[in-house]
């Protein structure tokens, strides 16, 4: 289980964060000692979101932190503080109506550091937010949520030389062991015997130590009577391409630079599974990961090849750099065999998704109106930006092939690369229950306070809220 937040110190910290909305600032300044108020005014503190002024006070420090306008308030603004405040334990004074749990989660997420390869390790507890306003249950929930996000970020940040298919398997086994789940793994040529031909085709060019594999975790909650566990059956499907060279349709150097993060879908389903299992939600959970390296060798699959799929559909390979949808095809077919009520797949699938919505807003695709509505509500409630995109039927024939059942690269006239990728996956997705596809980025391309350049966990809060409410 994740490490809970520490209990508050016996003596209250004298370092205080004053979180103020813009409409509270004047009254707060009027109540201050004259020189302090003058200093804050001289620094131009108006409560603008993210504004921070730190000044010494008797016995400690005071940090004046702007929360902006009430109607646009986002608790994730607190992610900025761990990297900006002086070391120590801080108490928060702010509007009593604010969700303290969300604030603590944001603060802890902002304290994340990836220093595995640094000689000098960061002191992660240099800046802490006093948890004295929370009960033990809330502290445990915060620790669980933060650990799930940190798991995703650690996996994605780790370079491919230390994060191959075997390491994804190890992470999955560790998680299964922690929560008493069952796990099975099919590796290498056994994928052909067990009918995962598309996974094998994409991953077969890698060296034996990095052989492709299909990972499956099965979990039921800890309850006294198993009959207490009712539906839903939830299946999480993750794309685990540990490095994508593009295959024989090789990427250029710039295109390959971030391809260690092409296993971001696998990382996300493990993080989401940690949340579900750690919260002991009353669901039946299956986690399916296709883990491969899209390598180049004499055995690499080629443009023009026709490959088989678990669903029995033949696929013409027009582009070996459209490999993620191939390994997801087999995984989604396996998902359908589990009679799911809800199937969610996560993949760093297309650059077109970024052209459409950029790195911070994640497109999702579904033909289930109720699930779409719930996701949209959850995204707003959790400040976890999602945007529904269309499964536009008019583009389906762009996937037609003259010599196979379909092709993995759509014809150019369709243009909408993220949409056509989703349409490809829909051909393999379960028809029973709802299906949702998320086209992730899993990365912060620009650094800003609380959001350093590097891996980012996206969709976890909104999707967990959705599943918790089923």
Q: Any idea which residues carry the catalytic annotation? A: 251, 325
Please give the C-alpha separations between residue 343 and each of 197, 333, 340, 469, in angstroms, as whole numbers. Answer: 21, 11, 6, 15
List of residues 6+ apart from 16 with CB closer than 8 A = 57, 60, 61, 62, 63, 90, 91, 92, 93
Residue with tokens 């995204």: 379
Per the CB < 8 A criterion, the answer to whether 244 and 319 are in contact is no
- Spatial contact of 243 and 259, defined as CB atoms under 8 Å apart: yes
Report the alpha-carbon distance of residue 397 to residue 17 in Å, rounded. 58
Whose tokens are 């650990």? That residue is 147
Question: Longest Cα pair distance anywhere in the chain, in angstroms?
Answer: 81
Pairs from 51-56 (Cβ < 8 Å, separation ≥ 24): 52/80, 52/81, 52/84, 52/85, 54/85, 54/86
Question: Rounded to an integer, what distance in angstroms lies between the CA atom of residue 169 and that of residue 215?
Answer: 7
CA–CA dist 224, 199 (Å, integer): 38
In angstroms, what CA-CA distances link 279 with 176, 382, 391?
A: 14, 17, 33
How many C-beta atoms lie closer than 10 Å to residue 337's C-beta?
Answer: 11
Q: How far apart are CA 251 and CA 248, in angstroms?
A: 9
Q: Pick from 124, 113, 110: which is nearest to 82 by CA?
A: 110
Q: How far is CA 111 from CA 84, 129, 383, 452, in A?
A: 10, 11, 19, 10
DSSP letters spanning 378-420: HHHHTT--EEE----GGGGGGG--SSSSEESS--GGG--HHHH
């Amino acid at each position: 289980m994740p490490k809970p937040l520490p209990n508050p110190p016996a003596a209250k910290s004298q370092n205080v964060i004053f979180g103020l909305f813009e409409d509270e600032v004047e009254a707060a300044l009027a109540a201050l000692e004259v020189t302090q108020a003058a200093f804050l005014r001289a620094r131009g503190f108006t409560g603008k979101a993210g504004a921070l002024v730190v000044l010494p006070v008797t016995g400690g420090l005071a940090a004046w932190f702007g929360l902006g306008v009430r109607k646009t308030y986002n608790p994730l603004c607190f992610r900025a503080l761990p990297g900006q405040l002086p070391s120590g334990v801080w108490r928060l004074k702010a509007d009593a109506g604010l969700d303290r749990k969300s604030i603590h989660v944001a603060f802890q997420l902002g304290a994340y550091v990836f220093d595995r390869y640094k000689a000098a390790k960061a002191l992660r507890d240099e800046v802490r937010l006093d948890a004295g306003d929370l009960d033990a249950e809330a502290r445990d929930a915060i620790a669980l949520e933060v650990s799930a996000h940190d798991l995703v970020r650690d996996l994605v940040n780790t370079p491919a030389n230390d994060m191959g298919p075997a390491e994804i398997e190890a992470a999955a086994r560790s998680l299964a062991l922690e929560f008493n789940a069952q796990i099975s793994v099919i590796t290498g040529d056994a994928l052909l015997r067990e009918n995962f031909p598309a996974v094998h085709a994409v991953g077969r060019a890698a060296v034996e130590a990095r052989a492709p594999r299909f990972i499956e975790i099965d979990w039921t909650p800890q309850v006294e009577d198993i009959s207490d566990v009712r539906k839903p059956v939830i299946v999480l499907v993750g794309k685990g391409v540990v490095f994508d060279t593009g295959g024989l349709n090789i990427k250029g150097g710039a295109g390959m630079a971030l391809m260690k993060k092409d296993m971001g879908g696998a990382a996300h389903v493990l993080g989401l599974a940690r949340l579900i299992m750690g919260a002991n939600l009353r669901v039946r959970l299956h986690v399916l990961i296709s883990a491969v390296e899209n390598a180049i060798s004499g055995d690499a699959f080629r443009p023009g090849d026709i490959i088989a799929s678990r669903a029995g559909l033949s696929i013409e390979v027009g582009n070996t750099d459209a490999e993620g949808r191939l390994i997801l095809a087999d995984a989604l077919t396996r998902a359908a065999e589990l009679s799911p009520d809800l199937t969610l797949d996560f993949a760093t699938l297309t650059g077109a998704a970024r052209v459409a919505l950029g790195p911070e807003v994640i497109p999702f695709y579904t033909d289930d109106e109720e699930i779409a509505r719930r996701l949209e509500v959850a995204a707003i409630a959790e400040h976890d930006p999602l945007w529904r995109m269309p499964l536009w039927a008019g583009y389906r024939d762009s996937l037609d092939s003259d010599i196979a059942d379909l092709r993995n690269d759509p014809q150019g006239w369709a243009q909408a690369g993220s949409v056509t990728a989703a349409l490809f996956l829909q051909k393999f997705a379960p028809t029973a229950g709802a299906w949702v596809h998320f086209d992730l980025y899993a990365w912060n391309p620009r650094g800003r306070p609380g959001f350093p350049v590097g891996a980012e966990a996206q969709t976890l809060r909104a999707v967990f809220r959705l599943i918790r409410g089923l």
